[in-house]
Amino acid sequence: MADRESEKQSSVLFSLRELMNLEEERIETEKQREEEARAADKRAKMEAELRLRAAEEARIRAEEERRQNDAAREREEAARLEAIQRAAIERTRLETEERARLAQMELAHKHERELMALQSDKQKTGLRRALIGVAVASVVFAGGGLGYYFGVAVPEGERVKAAADNEARTLKEARDKAEAEANAKSKMIADLTEQRDKARTDKERIELDQKLNELKGDPKKVVPGGTGTGVVKPPKDTKTDAEKLLDACKNSKDPACGM
């Protein structure tokens, strides 16, 4: 009887130990699952932060590169316009000097011929009159040369400079407008990129990808995610009037447009 009681107690104790072991295993497994879930959540947050940081760094790099390119284009444009102005003024000056030089040579030849004719004339009165006539002609021609320079050459140079200044203002206004529109487009792209990274469904990501492709002007783009792939149709012409004006100027053969 005592042996049976002892065996019964031993069996109960063994069952209790088994139950305790199972409970401890369950608790340990639950803890491990919770730790794995926390680790996975932490990894997901870190990956999201890394994606956002990479997108922001890419945006900053693109913005800096755009500013540098704009500054370089502005310097090149200023140098080109200045070269055009200098060339026009120099051309006018050279043409004026050449006309004046030819006129002086003609006057010198005429004066030499007059002197040779006067040497054969021994009448003092005739000689005096001829010399006076030559002097008067020289004064009149000199006055005409100065009148041409101040009446034609100087206004022509001013006209060329005014035309170049007007062209520079027009191009600067077009460039400023294009820059403002490009900045607005860059901000829209950055905002859509951030929304795309935060999207929770494939449908939202596809729609945002399509908007991004339209803004970027990609002719074809395979959309990732979902159960398949899609091809975005080529977007319509999204260039502004200012950008079209700059493109037309670049493709023109007008020297004032830098061709």
- pLDDT at position 215 over 70: yes
- pLDDT at position 230 over 80: no
Residue 145 tokens, joined: 């040369």
Q: How confident is the model at residue 225 (pLDDT cuts 50, 70, 90)?
A: very low
Instruction: Determine the number of helices (DSSP H) and then strands (DSSP E) in the chain.
Output: 5, 2
- pLDDT at position 187 over 50: yes
Decide: 161 and 89 in contact? Cβ < 8 Å.
yes
pLDDT at 235: 47
More confidently predicted of 130 and 19: 19
Q: What is the DSSP string of 189-208?
A: HHHHHHHHHH--SHHHHHHH
Q: Indicate the range of 83-87, 184-188, 247-251 predicted with least confidence.
A: 247-251
More confidently predicted of 133 and 36: 36
The secondary element (H helix, E strand) that includes residue 231 is strand 230-231
Q: How confident is the model at residue 150 (pLDDT cuts 50, 70, 90)?
A: low
The domain ranges of the chain are 2-257
Q: What is the pTM of this model?
A: 0.29
- pLDDT at position 119 over 60: yes
**Rounded CA separation 190/11 (Å):** 71
Q: How confident is the model at residue 223 (pLDDT cuts 50, 70, 90)?
A: very low
Q: How confident is the model at residue 123 (pLDDT cuts 50, 70, 90)?
A: low
- Would you give the DSSP letter of residue 121? -
pLDDT in tens, 151-171: 765 677 677 677 777 777 877
For the beta carbon of residue 91, count every other beta carbon within 10 angstroms: 13
**Rounded CA separation 93/87 (Å):** 10
- pLDDT at position 121 over 70: no
For the beta carbon of residue 187, count every other beta carbon within 10 angstroms: 12
- pLDDT at position 17 over 70: yes
Decide: 174 and 242 in contact? Cβ < 8 Å.
yes
**Pairing outcome for strands 222-223 and 230-231:** antiparallel
More confidently predicted of 203 and 135: 203
Average pLDDT for 202-227:
69
- Would you give the DSSP letter of residue 259? -
pLDDT at 224: 44
Average pLDDT for 69-77:
93
pLDDT at 75: 93
pLDDT at 116: 81
